[in-house]
Amino acid sequence: MIRNLFRATENLRSEMLTNAIALTHLLLDERTCLLRFVQRIVGNAANAEDVTQGLWLRIQRVDDHPPIENRKAYLYRLARNLALDHATADRRRAEVLAEAAELLLFSAEAVPDERSHIARDQLHHIAMTIAGLPERTQQIFALSRLEGLSQRDVADRLGISRPTVEKHLRYAFDAIMALRPDGP
């Protein structure tokens, strides 16, 4: 009888938990399985850890209404979506870097030395300008421009507002535009 009362109390308590708290408890219980699940999607343990960390951040922002009926299914679906986003961003980043390397190689071969030197110099100035930005601005710029995430996705991933993302991007673009000979 006491055991049944304990179970009833636990069930009532778990129903009273907010979605975020219940999902956090479930994440802690399922962490090992989630890491293996995510690793199969992203390809390595380090990226799986990153996705799992992002999952924890994301579930902290889950609303309580409506209540989540199947929390385990919700948690795994959220993990899958974040892992797919991460894998897509990694592929996109690799493609962009490969394209940039190809363009640099092609432009070095096809463009006369003077134009090639000017292009490399401009690229160097842009890279130095980006490197001189605050770390958060660099991160937002990279997510938006290199990984191709929308401003809403960047805001969700970093747990900040969309206007904050816009402010950082505007700051980065202004810094890059200031490099132009005709100014911003």
- For the entire predicted model, the pTM comes to 0.51
Q: Tell me, what's the pLDDT at 3?
A: 53
Instruction: Judge whether 135 lies within some domain.
Output: yes
What pLDDT score was predicted for residue 106?
62
Provide the domain count of the chain.
2
101 in any annotated domain: no
Which residue range is the domain that position 59 belongs to?
1-87
Give pLDDT, residue 40.
Answer: 95
Count Cβ atoms within 10 A of the Cβ of residue 63 and give its class: 0-12 exposed, 13-18 middle, 19 or more buried: exposed
Q: How far is CA 124 from CA 20, 60, 127, in A?
A: 45, 40, 5
Give the whole-angstrom CA distance, residue 57 versus residue 70: 20
Say what the pLDDT of residue 94 is.
Answer: 74
Q: Are residues 56 and 129 in the same domain?
A: no
The pLDDT of residue 7 is: 54
Res 28: pLDDT: 94
Do 123 and 81 share a structural domain?
Answer: no
Q: What is the CATH number of the domain that holds 123?
A: 1.10.10.10
pLDDT for residue 77: 96
Taking the chain (184 residues) in runs of 10, the rounded mean pLDDT of each run is 50 63 93 95 90 92 89 96 90 75 62 69 82 88 86 88 88 83 59
Cα distances from 63 to residues 45, 66, 137, in angstroms, run: 29, 7, 28
Check residue 147 and report its DSSP letter.
S
Residue (of 51, 85, 52, 64) closest to 20 by Cα position? 64
128 vs 17, 112, 172, CA distance in Å? 49, 24, 12
